[in-house]
Amino acid sequence: MNGRWRRWLGLAVRLGLAAVWLYAGATKVGDLAASGRSVHAYQIMPYDVAMVVGAALPFVELALGVLLLLGLATQLVAGISAALLLVFIAGIVSAWARGLAIDCGCFGTGGELPAGQDASYLPEILRDLGFLALAGFLLIWPRTAVSVDGALTSELVEDENE
């Protein structure tokens, strides 16, 4: 794939991952306590720590989304995204392995599921692996079309001559 096509594909990947982060953060930011309870449902950290993490998470997700939307610090944001997605995947796998019945809270409120309702962890893991692949693409090829990163460097101009 030549550089020009890769940059346009990278734009689609970047905007797709930005949409994921913006949507995830926007669905949680209105109820930070519920976001904290969703984190606590994983039973990995103490309640007070889970509440702080849950309250901060929507703002981290929104910041990642805005930076990706702009194409600013794309490789760094892709790395942070990949790390965060690995944490999310590990949390879901951990909940599944320990037999917890929870909603992941990935896109809004989560927490313990009502008695008798089964959790569907595999689709959540596969979805997050797909998002991880998007972050991986941007880690390898961070230069994308229509980005602040591209406007700040002359590399894209040099690539146009390929």
Token pair belonging to 88: 């999310």
Over residues 97-152, the pLDDT tens digits come to: 999 999 888 888 788 887 777 888 999 999 999 999 999 999 999 999 999 998 87
Residue-level pLDDT at 156: 47
Residue-level pLDDT at 141: 96
Residue-level pLDDT at 114: 79
Domain spans in the chain, listed from the N-terminal domain onward:
3-160
Q: Please, is 160 exposed, middle or buried when counting C-beta atoms within 10 Å of its C-beta (0-12, 13-18, 19+)?
A: exposed
Over residues 39-78, the pLDDT tens digits come to: 999 999 999 999 999 999 999 999 999 999 999 999 999 9
Question: How many angstroms separate the first and last alpha carbons of the chain?
Answer: 12
